[in-house]
């Protein structure tokens, strides 16, 4: 994992899709997947709450639209990539983080 950073330094790491962890370990970003499905995921308070996901294969950002607490809201504001995002539920964000875009697309087509 990269050097720990302050919350105020998070956005530049997110925008450049660089691994990071905040000094208190509550917010972190890292790459998942293989060469064809790489995705950059920003988590708040663990793998169970992805805030933002960038999918390299389709050059697209996704954003968690479920409600969350005060601190995670602060994380959301500090980590937002300041680019267009597509909103998804937390469950769909977890599926995307773990299974990649193909797994999410298969679920959405089945709806």
List, for residues 1-12, the tens digit of each pLDDT value: 567 999 999 999
Contact 10, 20 (CB under 8 A): yes
Which pLDDT score, from 0 to 100, does residue 35 have? 59
Contacts of 105 (CB under 8 A, 6+ apart): none
Which residues does 60 contact at the CB level (< 8 Å), separation at least 6? Answer: 54, 86
3-state secondary structure of 31: strand
pTM: 0.91
Q: Give the model confidence (pLDDT) of 38-69 as tens digits.
A: 899 999 998 899 999 999 989 999 999 998 88
Q: Report the domain count for the chain.
A: 1
| pLDDT-above-70 percentage for the chain | 94
The domain in which residue 16 lies consists of: 4-109
Q: How many CB atoms lie within 10 A of CB 37?
A: 16
How far, in Å, CA of 44 to CA of 42, rounded?
7
Contacts of residue 30, defined as CB under 8 A and 6 or more positions apart, other chains included, come to: 1, 19, 40, 41
């Amino acid at each position: 994992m990269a050097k720990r950073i302050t919350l105020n330094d998070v956005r530049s790491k997110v925008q450049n899709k660089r691994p990071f962890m905040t000094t208190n370990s509550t917010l972190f970003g890292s790459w998942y997947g293989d060469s064809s499905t790489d995705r950059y995921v920003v988590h708040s308070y663990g793998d169970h709450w992805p805030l933002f996901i960038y999918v390299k294969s389709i050059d697209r950002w996704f954003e968690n639209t479920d409600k969350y607490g005060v601190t995670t809201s602060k994380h959301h504001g500090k980590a937002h990539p300041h680019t267009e995002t597509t909103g998804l539920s937390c469950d769909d964000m977890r599926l995307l983080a773990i299974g990649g875009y193909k797994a999410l697309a298969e679920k959405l087509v089945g709806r």
